Amino acid sequence: MALGNGGLGRLAAAFMDSLATTGYPGFGNGIRYQYGLFKQRIVDGYQVELPDSWFGSIGNVWETRKDHNIVDVKLFGDVYLSADENGKLVPVYEGAQVLRAVPYDVPQIGFENDNINNLRLWDVEIPEEYELYYPTLESRRRVEDITAILYPDDSNYEGKQLRLVQEYFMTSAGLQTIIKSYLKQGLPLEQIHEKVSVHINDTHPAVAPAEFMRLLVDDYGLDWSTAWNTTVKTMSYTNHTILSEALEKWDAELFKHVLPRVYQIVLEIDNRFVAEMAQKGIDSGVINRTRIVKDGQIHMANLAIIGGHSVNGVAKLHTELLKEDTLHDFYLLYPEKFNNKTNGIVQRRWTQIAAPELSKAIDETIGEAWRSDIHELQKLKAYADDTTVLDNFYHVKQEAKAKLARYIFETTGVEVSTEAIFDVQVKRLHAYKRQLLNVLHIIKLYLDLKDNPDKDMVPRVFIFGAKAAPGYHFAKSVIKIINELANLINYDDSLQGKLKVVFLENYNVSLAELIIPAANVSEQISLASKEASGTSNMKFMMTGAITLATLDGANIEIKDEVGDDNIVIFGMDKDAVYAHYAAHDYYARGVYEANPVIKRVVDSFINGTIPNSQAEGTEIYEALITHNDEYFLLEDFPAYVEAQEKIDQLYRNRAQWSRMSLLNIANSDKFTSDDTITEYAEEIWNLKK
């Protein structure tokens, strides 16, 4: 099911798997989208987005509709407060739209245990008693839109409103169900936090603390401070990025229009927060930067942090950055809320399912116990100098490469040799991930080979897979450039097959299962500080690729596990990046003019070297030079070239490369999501198996 976007969605899938496998009662809530993330086709080098109708003709055979768990969700309308017979103010809701939330449950099955957890996907329906309100197809369609598509375009007002409705619809339905099922146990509602934890995964469901308050106070009659106490103890939040554009903020007027009662509650939470902080003598600047409602906007991350007891980042560096920079003011107010939970991956999928030959080779070396206890992989270390074992693993990789080579030929018509280094960058297309740095290096190799066709190098196949957000112009231009560069290079006989470039369309989990086990080099080259964690880096490591990386996200922890000799690190670290921000001293044009190699590479975007891409080439040139290279590609370029030369040298020594590869596999057990989820369960949710 393509019900996610990139690492954020895949991580949620990993956690559901690990919860069931480790035996924790953990349940997911999501939306039963008719269409998942778009299907990508490449036409004339450009990305084209097609609907992903994943239900197909047979529907989803794994789901079960649960009519007895239907709940209603209210949107829009007017709310005013009126005194009841005891003089207590109660909200009166008028003219609301009532929608039916219908759950479809998808079992989450543990590995070789008898545990089945549940992923509940919510669909929307019009309640029969309100059918008269929807006399036209158009009005019915507007309701169906709520669960039609993942990440609808939000560049206009309607799109923004739709996203807010989606988020609230799912969150409210989920929380209503949680409260109902808790109350069936006959326990007092104000103690719900002792039995229930609600985790806010990124800011999409960050309306949860306010909605939970609404339910407790309005629907179940708890007083405000009792309700608040239990809300904070129930909620926790994971931040998945430091990029501020990804921290959701809603226009206050829009929020009030869609969720009039929740808006009142958010205002009350905000007022009380400000009063409490002022009373504690907190600096007014800090209060202003941390409050929820300001400048006409509702800051959802702030609500999640204030309304919960835990905030975590997803890798050590990321959590440090949250504390010292992005969420520093909150860290001053609530140091005890902050903690780290480094991401992980489901080893079962990325070894046993995606890499069956590798799994067999591991069995033959250390036995099968690793299949249920991944920490057994450490035993591989003892074979780091065993030439028979290394040879076996080498051939397993060659086999995976041959499989991928066949797929490449069938889908693109490009022939690639398995003797070449398979150098892979697969991830969402984003400027901070710096696919363009990879491109700059490919252009340099191309120019070098044109100058000197006899250049001594191990043949290289550069493999890309990436979807660009439909509205992200720059990212789409990078895709076009990669495809045009591929056309230029792949059919130039003078290069003697030393260089190939392949862009595989529609990168998704299924394709990842084919690509990742076939990689020799794992490109993790984001600008230091920008990639919160990354998780494909862990998948590549586990299947024996060598990581070529900046000191960013979980790359740092990968380096700590494998040691400096078994990874290739280059470029600025986070301190160097922040030093540029502090000094405002980065000057891309200066770097470009001072370094003839860089100048020649960058000029090839605008001097006709890469055909059929004049507009895109100009856009990229301007991003680098006119707009001062926001992600410091040019400064990191020389170090990257050097690191790539090191890869070339290392690969020539087959024994040494195979040893590095084996040690990567052996140390990858650290990144099992089974352990990550255990830390969440023990340290945040206080959950028992």
Q: Which residues does residue 421 pair with via DSSP β-bridges, in sequence order?
A: 460
Q: Is 428 a catalytic residue?
A: yes
Contact call for residue 166 and ligand 8GP (CB under 6 A)? no
Nearer to ligand 8GP, 230 or 533 (CB): 533
Phi, psi for 146 (deg, rounded to 5) = -60, -35
* Residue closest to 308 by CA, chosen among 209, 225, 212, 224: 209
Which listed residue (32, 74, 214, 240) binds ligand 8GP by CB under 6 A? 240
Contact 322, 313 (CB under 8 A): yes
Q: Which residue has the tokens 């921000």?
A: 581
* Residue closest to 125 by CA, chosen among 54, 204, 70, 56: 70
Q: Is 535 a catalytic residue?
A: yes
670 burial type by CB count under 10 A (0-12 exposed, 13-18 middle, 19+ buried) = buried
Which listed residue (11, 396, 436, 440) binds ligand 8GP by CB under 6 A? 11
Q: How far is the CB of 37 from ligand 8GP (least distance, A)?
A: 12
Torsion over CA: 432, 435, 437, 438 (sign): positive
Nearer to ligand 8GP, 342 or 392 (CB): 342
Stretch of 469-477, 479-487, 530-538, 657-665 lying at the interface with ligand 8GP (CB under 6 A): 530-538
* Residue closest to 437 by CA, chosen among 186, 213, 636: 636
Catalytic, out of 427, 467, 530, 574: 427
CA pair distance 589, 586, nearest whole angstrom: 9
410 CB-side CA count, 13 A: 6
Contact call for residue 241 and ligand 8GP (CB under 6 A)? yes
Catalytic, out of 199, 204, 214, 240: 240
Q: How far is the CB of 650 from ligand 8GP (least distance, A)?
A: 27
Nearer to ligand 8GP, 202 or 484 (CB): 202
Contact call for residue 6 and ligand 8GP (CB under 6 A)? yes
Which listed residue (42, 71, 246, 639) binds ligand 8GP by CB under 6 A? 246
Sites for ligand 8GP among residues 324-343 (CB under 6 A): 343
Stretch of 410-418, 488-496, 532-540, 627-635 lying at the interface with ligand 8GP (CB under 6 A): 532-540
Torsion over CA: 371, 375, 380, 384 (sign): positive
Q: Is 10 a catalytic residue?
A: no
Contact 140, 99 (CB under 8 A): no
**DSSP classification of residue 569:** E
Contact call for residue 532 and ligand 8GP (CB under 6 A)? yes
Contact call for residue 8 and ligand 8GP (CB under 6 A)? yes
| Cα 560 → chain centroid | 23
- The residue count for the chain: 689
Q: Is 381 a catalytic residue?
A: no
Q: Is 539 a catalytic residue?
A: yes
Stretch of 6-14, 75-83, 369-377, 415-423 lying at the interface with ligand 8GP (CB under 6 A): 6-14
Contact call for residue 7 and ligand 8GP (CB under 6 A)? yes
- The encoded tokens of residue 161 equal 């409103």
Contact call for residue 610 and ligand 8GP (CB under 6 A)? no
328 in helix, strand or coil? helix
Q: Is 348 a catalytic residue?
A: no
Contact call for residue 516 and ligand 8GP (CB under 6 A)? no
Q: Which residues does residue 689 pair with via DSSP β-bridges, in sequence order?
A: none
Nearer to ligand 8GP, 40 or 241 (CB): 241
User: Which residues contribute to the site for ligand 8GP (CB under 6 A)?
Assistant: 6-8, 11, 202, 240-241, 246, 314, 343, 531-535, 553
Which residues are part of the catalytic machinery?
Answer: 240, 427-428, 433, 535, 539
